[in-house]
Amino acid sequence: MKIISWNVNSVRARITNILDYIQTSKPDILLLQEIKTQDESFPYEDFKKIGFESHVNGQKSYNGVAIISKVKVANVKKNFINDELKQSRIIKGEIHINKKKINIINVYVPNGNPIETEKYDYKKKWLDKFILNIKKELDKNSNILIAGDFNIIPEENDVYDFKRYENDALGKLEIRKKFRELLNLGFKDTYRFINKNKVEYTFWDYFAGSWQKNYGMRIDHFILSNNILENIKSININKKPRSKTKPSDHTPIELIIN
DNA sequence: ATGGCTGAGCTACTCAGA
């Protein structure tokens, strides 16, 4: 089974790129973030035509997440945490891989910049609630796959110039510690688990030629609970979509799990 | 080294992103 996570930066502005990408990359499940549209204007039909059902937690203009799937997704929930700002940042569902029931949690973690504002506090509180609820979730089902845009640079080699991000909401130690706290519940950052020292990114700014200069960062992640690690076949950051015309600023990360 | 891109909503310009 191929599961892909991609922050598309607007599903409607990107629909052609997304459909082209599905044709070549052939996911079974596509987890989207920043769809930037409410449920009623989501392009359900475009995905239905090519055999995918869509589960959407949308929001006007900002945020929004969706699960696009060829396989049946059960028990879809949009209220995994109580979001104080009522932003649409999580969608959860259940799938089966072999005989394991796996909870899939698709997240778009708040950015948190600038750090001296309430936006940073919102990110910290959001992560605290998320970690607490994941802890509770583990008591019910220990097969958990969390994927999405975490807006967290896990380690210094996950960004082109760490010095520029050590006081940023994506790179601050306080935030990276929360990421470690999540992993310490019994998860692995799958990309780093498979690739011990490889330097690759999932995001490049639109401006200042960041893509051309490879000024990027690795902030999109697959976080898998320890007892499904044995099911991993491969994980790959696919840079192609970032090189296309009208690209998202993020590129997809692709997991094959059996 | 910040916001020089980009998108949404709306129709001039702000907000948000990371």
Residue lying closest to nucleotide B7, CA to C1': A10
CA of A182 to C1' of B10 (A): 41
Q: Which nucleotide is nearest to A36 (CA to C1')?
A: B8
CA of A185 to C1' of B5 (A): 38
CA of A169 to C1' of B18 (A): 8
Are the C-beta atoms of A147 and A202 separated by less than 8 Å?
A: no
Mean pLDDT of A63-92: 97
pLDDT value of position A110:
97
Q: Which nucleotide is nearest to A210 (CA to C1')?
A: B5
Mean pLDDT of A126-137: 98
Q: Which nucleotide is nearest to A108 (CA to C1')?
A: B17
Q: How confident is the model at residue A98 (pLDDT cuts 50, 70, 90)?
A: confident
CA of A187 to C1' of B5 (A): 35
Cα–Cα distance between A201 and A211 in angstroms, integer? 10
Q: Find residues whose C-beta atom lies within 7 angstroms of strand B.
A: A 7, 9-10, 12-13, 34, 36-38, 41, 60-63, 110-111, 113-114, 119, 149, 151, 164, 170, 203, 205-208, 217, 219, 246, 249-250
**DSSP bridge partners of A32:** A6, A66
pLDDT value of position A82:
96
Are the C-beta atoms of A218 and A201 separated by less than 8 Å?
A: yes
Q: Cis (ω within 30 of 0) for the bond into A114?
A: yes
- Is pLDDT of A231 > 90? yes
Q: Which nucleotide is nearest to A41 (CA to C1')?
A: B8
Report CA-CA distances (Å) from A213 to A11, A35, A160, A205, A209: 26, 27, 10, 11, 6
CA of A45 to C1' of B12 (A): 33
- Is pLDDT of A218 > 90? yes
Round the average pLDDT of chain A to a whole number and report it.
97
Cα–Cα distance between A48 and A27 in angstroms, integer? 14
Q: Which nucleotide is nearest to A170 (CA to C1')?
A: B18
Indicate the number of domains in chain A.
Answer: 1
Q: How confident is the model at residue A137 (pLDDT cuts 50, 70, 90)?
A: very high
What's the length of chain A?
Answer: 258
Residue in the block written with tokens 């802890």: A135
CA of A50 to C1' of B1 (A): 45
Q: Which nucleotides of B are covered by protein (CB under 7 A)?
A: 1-9, 16-18
pLDDT tens digits, residue range A156-201? 999 999 999 999 999 999 999 999 999 999 999 999 999 999 999 9
CA of A123 to C1' of B18 (A): 13
Q: What are phi and psi of A110, to 5 degrees?
A: -55, 145
Looking up residue A12, the CATH number of its domain turns out to be 3.60.10.10
CA of A180 to C1' of B8 (A): 34
Q: Quote the domain boundaries for residue A25.
A: 2-257
